[in-house]
Structure 1
Amino acid sequence: MKKIIIINGPNLNLLGKREPTIYGSSSFEDFYKALKEKYSEVELDYFQSNIEGELINKLHEVGFDFDGIVLNAAAYTHTSVGIGDAVKGLETPVVEVHISNVHSREEFRHVSFIAPNTKGVITGFGLQSYELAIQSFL
């Protein structure tokens, strides 16, 4: 059984409440429950933190024995050299995901410190971005 973890960064705990015109009206918990049912042949795990160091610690914890990491580092994507370096040091492949199309938003969101160290980037497909990333590992 493949082991895949979704790691979400800051403010993604507010999905369904925060800026629904950009991020939709579903909570991530409801979406995650549906993903677990749909991909029952996968050991799917989930972690969310608003704290950069906790995200790095989780990447270190899972980055050598999972089959895939789906990472939405949110705003840290564009600011965290530390998360980019953590991803670079892992054996487990990482797919960077974003709910919105970051390239149609503010210019600072066009730069990722994580993308150069990933298997790929999926952006702009809403919550389906996560599902596309999971499929890339199967």
Structure 2
Amino acid sequence: MTSQILVLNGPNLNMLGAREPEIYGHETLADIEAATRAHAQKCGLGVTFRQSNSEGELVGWVQQARHDRAAALIVNAGAYTHTSVALLDALLSCDLPVVEVHLSNIHQREEFRHHSYVSKAAVGMIAGFGGFGYAMAVDALAHILKQ
């Protein structure tokens, strides 16, 4: 059975390609999903890819991940990165490896974006590489899952 990675995307990521392309690029979330799936398959991993603008839905998906037998999570929480204690609590309680991803380098942006609640639950963070950051996260989790 192929190990599954749950990829969660937070608010406004459904607007990629149209929203602030000077910051987030021209790739759509569908483009990133297709590239992530293809890369994961090369690594022998499966991917479940989701996006929500709702904090509660993201928390529910994290809680469900253990029951669905996900092996790990990739999380781009969008703005919830900087605000959601609820998402942090869910990630801490899921007992799965988490890699945090950001399309832009959050440390080169506004001061309020420098703090991440997600980081407390993550084994690592990948920021500033656009959609390629998801493939990097898959590689990191493939390495972790083999250990």
Q: CA deviation at 1:34?
A: 2.7
Q: Residue in 2 aligned with 1:127?
A: 131
For 2:8, what is the secondary structure of its paired residue?
Answer: strand
Q: CA RMSD in A?
A: 1.1
Would you tell me which structure has more helix in proportion to its own residues? 2
For 1:39, what is the secondary structure of its paired residue?
Answer: helix
Q: What runs of 5+ residues in structure 2 fail to find an aligned partner?
A: 143-147
Percent of residue pairs identical? 42
1:83 aligns with 2:84: no
Alignment of 1:1-138 (within 5 A): 1-40=2-41, 41-63=44-66, 65-138=69-142
Q: What runs of 5+ residues in structure 1 fail to find an aligned partner?
A: none
2:81–2:116: 8 Å Cα contact kept in structure 1?
yes
Q: Which 4+ runs in 1 deviate beyond 3 A?
A: none
Q: Distance in 1 between matches of 2:117 and 2:40?
A: 30
1:67–1:137: 8 Å Cα contact kept in structure 2?
no
Matched pairs, number: 138
Q: Distance in 1 between matches of 2:102 and 2:35?
A: 19
Q: CA deviation at 1:137?
A: 1.2
Q: CA deviation at 1:38?
A: 3.2
